[in-house]
């Protein structure tokens, strides 16, 4: 059971942490009857000059995409996705010129192919990776820095990530695999105490944000925002 009041307070603290990191935060209007709308990352993939508004894998979430498309209009050239393709933004991780795309419960090969078409407009390539456990790719790995990929132990076959321009560091907690990295800090779930220790031993400054109710809804740090022009590339 999710404590809604606590979830709201945690979301507000998350927004405050982004602003403290120097991020300009644009809040979208609340959508009635779309409780998962807080996980806005799943509704689009934002690249350099283009954005792909997705067709989420959960049918109940498809009512969210028009709101995201309207917010992105004027910021990027917006493209759409049609059936039978499905894709959640939480399955897309940009590493340099490659989009690593999780083939998961929510993202299929048709979605991967549509993203490849749009990504090519910005000179980017895609690489599909099977996600055997967890809801999304970014439930298992995210960037802890421009050249550091945090990976939950045993979550993904490391061979599928071979050749990417990053060092892979395994972290002991699932909550620690999903972080938001900036030039001077890494925002980490407060639940990932041991992961924070791993990062701090590397000389990185960490900022903890409590996310217990977000985690209870299968969410994490990246799920709650779409990053445009973030420190380590538009898709973190």
User: Whole-structure pTM over 0.85, yes or no?
Assistant: yes
Give the count of beta carbons closer than 10 Å to the beta carbon of residue 163: 8
Which of the two residues, 235 and 13, has the higher pLDDT score? 13
| Tens-place pLDDT, residues 184-231 | 999 999 999 999 999 999 999 999 999 999 999 999 999 999 999 743
| Residue 43 CA, distance from chain mean position | 11
| pLDDT of the residue at 231 | 34
Residue among 91, 51, 82, 90 nearest 68 (CA): 51
| pLDDT of the residue at 235 | 38
Query: Taking residues 41-45, what's their average pLDDT?
Result: 98
Catalytic (active-site) positions: 136, 223
| pLDDT of the residue at 156 | 87
User: How would you label 86-111 residue by residue, b for 16+ Cβ within 10 Å and e otherwise?
Assistant: bbbbbbbbbbeebbbbbbbebbbebb
Query: Taking residues 151-173, what's their average pLDDT?
Result: 91
| Tens-place pLDDT, residues 90-147 | 999 999 999 999 999 999 999 999 999 999 999 999 999 999 778 899 999 999 999 9
| pLDDT of the residue at 232 | 36
234 vs 227: CA distance, rounded Å: 6
* pLDDT band (50, 70, 90) for residue 168: very high
pLDDT above 90 as % of the chain: 89
Q: Which domains does the chain have, with CATH numbers?
A: 4-224 (3.75.10.10)
| pLDDT of the residue at 154 | 81
């Amino acid at each position: 059971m999710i404590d809604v009041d606590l979830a709201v307070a945690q979301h507000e603290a998350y927004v405050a942490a982004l602003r403290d990191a120097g991020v300009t935060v644009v809040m979208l209007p609340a959508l009635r009857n779309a409780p998962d709308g807080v996980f806005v990352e799943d509704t689009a993939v934002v690249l350099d000059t283009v954005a792909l508004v997705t067709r989420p894998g959960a049918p109940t979430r498809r009512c969210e995409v028009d709101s995201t498309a309207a917010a992105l209009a004027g910021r990027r050239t917006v493209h759409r996705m049609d059936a039978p393709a499905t894709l959640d933004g939480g399955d897309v991780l940009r590493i340099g010129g490659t989009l690593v795309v999780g083939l998961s419960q929510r993202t299929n090969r048709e979605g991967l192919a549509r993203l490849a078409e749009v990504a090519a407009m910005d000179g980017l390539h895609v690489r599909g990776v099977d996600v055997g456990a967890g809801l999304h790719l970014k439930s298992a790995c995210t960037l802890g820095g421009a050249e550091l990929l945090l990976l939950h132990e045993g979550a993904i076959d490391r061979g599928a990530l071979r050749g990417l321009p990053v060092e892979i560091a395994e972290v002991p907690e699932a909550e620690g695999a999903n972080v938001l990295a900036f030039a001077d800090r890494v925002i980490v779930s407060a639940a990932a105490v041991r992961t924070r220790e791993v990062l701090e031993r590397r000389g990185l400054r960490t900022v903890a944000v409590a996310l217990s109710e977000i985690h209870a809804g299968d969410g994490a740090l990246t799920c709650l925002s779409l990053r445009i022009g973030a420190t380590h590339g538009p898709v973190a």
